[in-house]
Chain A
Amino acid sequence: MSLISEGALSKPLPSLAEPSLAGVEDYLALLKPRVMSLVVFTALVGLLVAPGHVHPVIGFTALLCIAIGAGASGALNMWYDADIDAIMTRTLRRPIPAGRVQPGEALAFGATLAVGSVLVLGVLVNWFAAALLAFTIAFYVFVYTMWLKRSTPQNIVIGGAAGAFPPMIGWAAVTGDVSLAPFLMFLIIFLWTPPHFWALSLLRCDDYARAGVPMLPVVSGLDETRKQILIYTLILAPVGITPSLFGFAGPIYGAIAAICGAAMLYLAWRVYRDREGEVAASAARKLFAFSLLYVFVLFAALLADNLLARLGFGFGLAP
């Protein structure tokens, strides 16, 4: 059941007969390029740390397909969520609510890219990776966007799985299967997603409430959200070190993950402690910004550690 009230759209969408004013940049915006950058980076790390060798052309093809598949998910998400996007300040200027791209165009664009990316990945790389990509797109669109986002405050907890699959797909593109190492990478992103998005939702609580999206601070309140952020970060910090503990990465990665985990935990504690005024907003902003850095640094360290091991200078997963 949608929580969006009827007539909530602030401006009418253009009719089908109206010539399109969409520019190339609008279609690129439908792909959510900032989200795509994290997807591509984590998939690249999964692909490069996987045991075995992949030809650069095949590796590039796999990354391109994963990027396009992620972009397709974004376009389909924007098509379905156009009503919500038109209400929220953060998303008001997206191509569909702004009237530059019609919903049907976004649907056709996203569906074509979704099918195309899966087929090309299957034909040119391997069908196991393609099946994982198809599952990821379907999970993001049908489970997260169409079901969870409007129905439960656990939306981003479960839906976060979609954003955690790319390193696993990158790994599968090389090996044709998955094992514990890509599962640990999945787990890091999966556990990182709630504190990352809840920190943002603390800052945008009014926006989500106005749009009727049942984010945790809207449903359970700001204090409960702060507590949940701290709990998830308490789990995330040790899980971030597990690649070292299981022998998939060396002590250098382990040290970096421990330091970053401690910093993330400190910032989550600040969010939990500082609950009033500008100090509270500042704590949430810092946690949100650092959480982005956290996941990039951890995966960069995993990659560097693995490359050193391949060159004979480290202790990580050997090829």
Chain B
Amino acid sequence: MSDLLLVRDLRVRYPLDGGMASILKRNRRAYVDVVHGVSLNIKRGETLAVVGESGSGKTTLAMALCGLVPLSGGEVYFDGKILATGKDGCLRPDRRRIALMFQDPVGSLSPRMTVRKLLAEPFRIHKGLSDDPDRSALDLLSMVGLGTDFADRYPHQLSGGQARRVGVARALALKPDLLIADEPTAGLDVSVQGEVLNLLADLQQEMGLGIMLITHNLNIVRHVARQMSIMYLGRFLEQGLSELIFSHPRHPYTAALLAANPSPDPDATPQRVKLTGEVPSLLQRPTGCEFHTRCPRVQADCRESFPGRQSDGGDQTWNCFHAIV
């Protein structure tokens, strides 16, 4: 099957102008590379999880794909066709077909609109998709498991989980082909988290939706995403089938990340891979492999160049000279 979304060597850099410091220190680079050459693909009906800590560039990647921040390089194909960029450098995707679910559930809903209005809004913008926006809004509401009595509530009258559901309904209103969900379960407790993820899984099955799930919660990735990518300082360090990566991580960062995930068993003795040092600042991106400053397997060549993509022929690739065998 062909890819729904294919991204090749995507780059996003933010300018650093405006500050006194950047004017005074003329030798300083005037930008930060937030997404530094990312390639990925998502098939219809499949979920790709992008895992990485805050600041690794996950959200910027999502925003770039939705055309909210300008690209500085790379190509994006959607449903076989290349996406054009506008004058401002942003992608011009068909917004009806790519939907974004933002991180903050209440903050992404207008506080002055009722749930009914919020859900009818997409239909008012994209005319011709629904004869009766209000009717469609109520249908959406029942699709995400909320009763009609929610239609006249304002966002502040919703709990975190309910606001997420409205977010899901809004994102799926126009029957998109691809959903980009930015931390859809951050701040939710395990039971509500399960509800939201089950809802996404059901809708995915029904609508054949491709999902890009951005998260730093490793526990959910194993269950909901067939594919995963590990992001560190704007680059993917390891990609492939979640099953393979969880059972046999090849990149030292992935291994450390998986080992660090605390187990809910009080008797478990953690087998930690010890990482030393700090996450480097994007302003001073390390040469070579970005992870070398913290890597337990570091050698001289890691400091010189970034390792190319390696694989053993299976559905797992990694960027490391000295991968775990």
The answer to whether A and B interact is: no
